[in-house]
Structures are given as C-alpha cells and as structure tokens.
Structure 1
C-alpha cells in the first residue's frame, strides 16, 4: 500500500490512540517526532474536552491540531479555528428529555469549562478522567456560558438507556452514541466529519492525503472522508463497516503499527 502521499493523520483518542488505561504510549510520542520531521500534520479528534486532550498530549500539544467536543471546537496552539454552539432552547429540550431517565448524568460542555450537577460522587470521580475543568451547578438550565455539546453518561449502557430518550431529537440535532457509556447531543454541524472537512479545505488536503483512525459511532463521518480509514480491532461494528481497513486494538498499538508503515 502506498502511503507516500499522506500529509495529515487524524486519530480519535479513547479506544483508539489511548489504551484501556487512558494512556498515550511512549511509542506514539516517538512516532510523532518522525511524522513532524516529514511535515505530516497530526490531528487529535475526540469527544473529550480540549483541556483533557491537551493534558494527554502535553509534550506535543503545540504541534497538534485539536478537534474537541466531537467536532464542535477546533483549536491549534492559542488560536480557536471553529466553534459550533448549540441553541439555548435545544439545551432545554435535551435536559427535559433525559430528566426521566434514571441515573443519567448530563454534562454541558463549553470551550473552557463543563457544568454538571453534583448528585453523584461516583460520577464526579469518573468525570475527572474526561474533564479536567468543570463546575458543579444547582440548575443546568441556568448556565449562561455558550454550550458546544451536551454529553450524557450512564454507568450501564448509553445505547440502551440514554439513546432511546434522545433519539427523537435527531431531526434537528446531531445525536451520537460516542462510547459505551456516553451519548453526545450537539448542533447538526458539530461532528468530527464537519470539523475535519473544514481542516482539509484549509490545508488543501484530499482524501488520498489523509489517514483516519476511529473506534466508535462518533468517528463515522470523519472515517468517510479518507481513503485510508482504519477501524480498531475493538471498534463498534458500525465503524468496521464504514472503515476501509482494520488495525489491531488500542491495547496492541493499532495506531502506532500503521503509522510505522507510513514512516
């Protein structure tokens, strides 16, 4: 396979670049240096908060383009390249829809913060892995900050418990099962595919010049933009259907092994 035209590499984080312990491998950081030497731009694309992504990639964060909050926010160094906020009335509809779901935990995600209620210590403890910056509020409907996404967590299954409660919003909003415990609801254009399309246009990059890695449903749109799209071995069946190729799991250096071939 000819990888000589690759100019940009895009990777999801959880379940893809990060292993099951939510760690980036030393092997990847070494590969990154070689990619940079070849002028291949690396893009991290995640449902995570920007601050959380930057923490994971701290040694190289000034050389990475971050697509955060499932595509609602793009940042490179200190420059914000895109924000796609969600309408206030939509937030009210989302919160109302999930208020009837037992043990659902909504997070209102803004550029620099996240807003949660404090009714579960177990949830708050888990949240620290994904959101390094968050505030506990009494009433989420009164949050004045511009919201980019509403992320909803369920300890058992997002697909089984959360998705049915918000599925009816799909006509006007982007609803994504973004992990086994998360569902993300955002503006129609707030997804990784839309964000990546904007980056490809800005960098004049074609589908032959970009490589994309993903594992879950929130990666589907961006995988469709690349002729070198890879599903992880641990990926959701939907992702394996859409991706053109498959690599090993996130615990078996699936991303790193392909990038070594690129190099």
Structure 2
C-alpha cells in the first residue's frame, strides 16, 4: 500500500476516532503534529454538533476542517464553508411523522444551537455527551431557526424502532441510521460525501490523495470518495463491505495505527 501521495486524512468521530468513553487519544494529538509537518490536512467528519466536535478537538480546532451534522455544516476556524438546511415544510412533515411513535426523541439541529423537548430527563442527560449547546422548548414546530438536521434517538434500537417509520421519506430526504440509537434526517445533499466532495474540490484533492475512516452507515458516501477507505473492526456490516481496507477497532487505536504507517 503506497501512502506517499496522501494529502488529506478524514475521520469520523464516534466509533472511529473516539473510543468507547468518547475520548480522543493523546496518541492522536501527537500524530496530528506530525501530519501538520508534512502538510497533510485533517478533516473531522461527524453527525455530532459542531460545538461538541470542537470540544473534543479543542487544542487543534483552529487547524482542522470540521464537517458537522452529517455534512450539513462545514467550518474551518469560524468560517462557514457550507450549509445545507432542510426546508421548513419538510421539518414539519418529519416532526408529524414522529408523533405516533413511542419513546423517540427528536433533536432539531441548527447552526449554533439544538432544540429538544422536555419529555425525558434521561434523554437530556445522555444528550449532553453529543450536544454542547441545546435548548429545551415546549414545541419544536415553533423553532424559527434554520434546521440543518433532525436527529432522532431511541434508547434501544434506531434500526428497529425509528428507521421503519421514516424510511418512506427517503425519496425526498437523506435518511441515515447513523448509530445504534440514532437516525438522522436531512436534505438530500446533506451528507458527509457531498460535504467532503466540496472540501476536496476546494483543496484540489484527488481520490488517491485522501484517506477516510468510518464505522457507520452515515460514513458510506465519504468512504466512496477515497482509494484509501478504512472500516473500523467495530464497523457496521455495510461499512465493512464498502471500505477497501480494514483497521483495528476504535478501542484499539485503529485510526492511529494506520496514521503511524502513513507517517
């Protein structure tokens, strides 16, 4: 495997760069310094909120590109490079679709904030891991900010309890099972692949010059853009099938091991 042409490294966060305790390793930050010396750009790509992502990567946040909200928002430092919001009418349609479902928790993800209901203290406690900035509102339908994504949570299984109810929206919207407990619904172009394609175009990066790591279905489109796509050992079967290469799990420094070979 010839990695000498790599100019950009792109990594998902949860289940990929983050371990099971939602931590970035000190080992990665040391590797990042070496990537910088070689003028290799690092891109963090996640379904997480921008603020949550930069909290995890605080010491390097001004030196990386951030693809947040599954590609609906791209920022570099404080510069917004891309936003792909959901039309207001579609936001209302998605919320109406969720009304009959039990024990599901929608989050309206906006550029600077997220909006949730007050129906579950346990959900609010869990949410703090993924959202640094959020507000509790009585009626999400009254939120007047531009919505980039609706993230929907179920404590047991997103594939079993959420996805079947929103699958019919796939003709007009991007519907992604983005984690064991999450389904994300966004504009058809709001996905990591579209966002990464724009970033690659801006930096004149070819498929053989970018390395991509992922573990879940919301990573599939960006994995397709790279000749060096890596699935984590803990990845969803769809990702293991789609990626060209496989690395160790997120708890075994899977990303770091490959980057050490790159260096």
| TM-score of the superposed pair, with normalisation by structure 1 | 1.00
Partner of 2:180, secondary structure, is coil
- Is residue 2:139 matched to residue 1:135? no
> Hey, what does 2:113 align to over in structure 1?
113
Aligned positions of 1:134-153 closer than 5 A:
134-153=134-153
> Hey, what does 1:229 align to over in structure 2?
229
Distance 2:82 2:224 in 1: 21
Distance 2:98 2:240 in 1: 30
> Hey, what does 1:240 align to over in structure 2?
240
Partner of 1:23, secondary structure, is coil
Partner of 1:93, secondary structure, is helix
1:99 positional shift: 1.2
Off by >6 Å, runs of 4+ in structure 1: none
Distance 1:53 1:200 in 2: 20
| TM-score of the superposed pair, with normalisation by structure 2 | 1.00
1:228 positional shift: 0.2
Partner of 1:251, secondary structure, is helix
Partner of 1:148, secondary structure, is strand
1:102 positional shift: 0.5
1:202 positional shift: 0.4
> Hey, what does 1:190 align to over in structure 2?
190
Distance 2:163 2:100 in 1: 13
After superposition, give the CA deviation of every residue in 1:122-177 in whole Å (9 maximum; x if it has no partner): 00000000000000000000100000000000000000000001000000000000
Distance 1:99 1:48 in 2: 24
Distance 1:90 1:158 in 2: 21
Aligned positions of 1:60-139 closer than 5 A:
60-139=60-139
Distance 2:81 2:205 in 1: 17
Q: How big is the alpha-carbon RMSD for the aligned residues of Structure 1 and Structure 2? A: 0.4
1:100 positional shift: 1.1
> Hey, what does 1:43 align to over in structure 2?
43
Partner of 1:155, secondary structure, is coil
Distance 1:11 1:97 in 2: 32
After superposition, give the CA deviation of every residue in 1:177-209 in whole Å (9 maximum; x if it has no partner): 000000000000000000000001000000000
Partner of 2:31, secondary structure, is helix
- Is residue 2:15 matched to residue 1:15? yes
Distance 2:118 2:3 in 1: 48
Partner of 1:208, secondary structure, is helix
Distance 2:160 2:90 in 1: 22
Distance 2:133 2:99 in 1: 24
After superposition, give the CA deviation of every residue in 1:81-136 in whole Å (9 maximum; x if it has no partner): 00000011111111111111110000000001000001100000000000000000
Partner of 1:152, secondary structure, is strand
1:16 positional shift: 0.1
1:41 positional shift: 0.2
Distance 1:234 1:34 in 2: 27
After superposition, give the CA deviation of every residue in 1:37-63 in whole Å (9 maximum; x if it has no partner): 100000000000000000000010000
Distance 1:112 1:193 in 2: 22
After superposition, give the CA deviation of every residue in 1:16-74 in whole Å (9 maximum; x if it has no partner): 00000000000000000000110000000000000000000001000010000000000
